[in-house]
């Protein structure tokens, strides 16, 4: 039997897979009933809102893909901090380019991940949505 990864290891793996574009593999790290909370107005930021389950996460990823021509979480800025036994706080700089306008944004973000039994059950994201919104404004 494989040893269960620590919450820090799971979240580090998630960011690595995301950065490498290996999106389908991120689902292996998530509980089937995972819930993502992404701030912002979904009519402007297509990935914003509450996303439930793997189907919801897939819609979240589709929103990122349709709304952004480029997104990166700067690996040099990424800090992962254990918060208790089940939570990981990730801090970092996110940069993106609106597919609609071609304008870019940069936000210093925080992501609070909750894990149970070695799998992600919840994400609460905190971004400068005003900076993101300005990249989408026409």
pLDDT digits (tens, 9 = 90+) for 58-67: 999 999 999 9
For the 7-136 domain, the top CATH level (class) is alpha beta
Find where tokens 């793997």 sit: 54
What's the rounded mean pLDDT across residues 51-74? 97
Average pLDDT of the chain to the nearest whole number:
95
For the cut 90, the answer to whether the pLDDT of residue 138 exceeds it is no
Q: What is the pLDDT of residues 93-111, one digit of tens each?
A: 999 999 999 999 999 999 9
Q: What is d(CA 30, CA 47) in angstroms, rounded to the nearest whole number?
A: 18
Q: What tokens appear for 38 in the block?
A: 């992404």
For the cut 70, the answer to whether the pLDDT of residue 84 exceeds it is yes
The ranges assigned to domains in the chain are: 7-136
Predicted confidence at residue 14, as pLDDT, reads 97
3-state secondary structure of 22: coil
């Amino acid at each position: 039997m494989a040893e269960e990864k620590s919450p820090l290891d799971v979240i580090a793996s998630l960011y690595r897979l995301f950065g490498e574009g290996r999106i389908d593999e991120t689902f292996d790290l998530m509980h089937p009933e995972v819930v993502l909370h992404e701030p912002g107005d979904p009519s402007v930021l297509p990935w914003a809102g509450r996303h439930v389950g793997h189907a919801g996460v897939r819609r979240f990823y589709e929103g990122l893909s349709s709304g952004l021509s480029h997104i990166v979480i700067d690996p040099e800025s990424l800090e992962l901090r254990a918060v208790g036994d089940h939570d990981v706080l990730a801090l970092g700089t996110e940069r993106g380019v609106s597919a609609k306008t071609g304008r870019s944004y940069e936000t210093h973000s925080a992501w609070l991940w909750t894990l149970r039994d070695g799998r992600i059950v919840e994400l609460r994201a905190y971004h400068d949505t005003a900076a993101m919104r300005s990249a989408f404004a026409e």
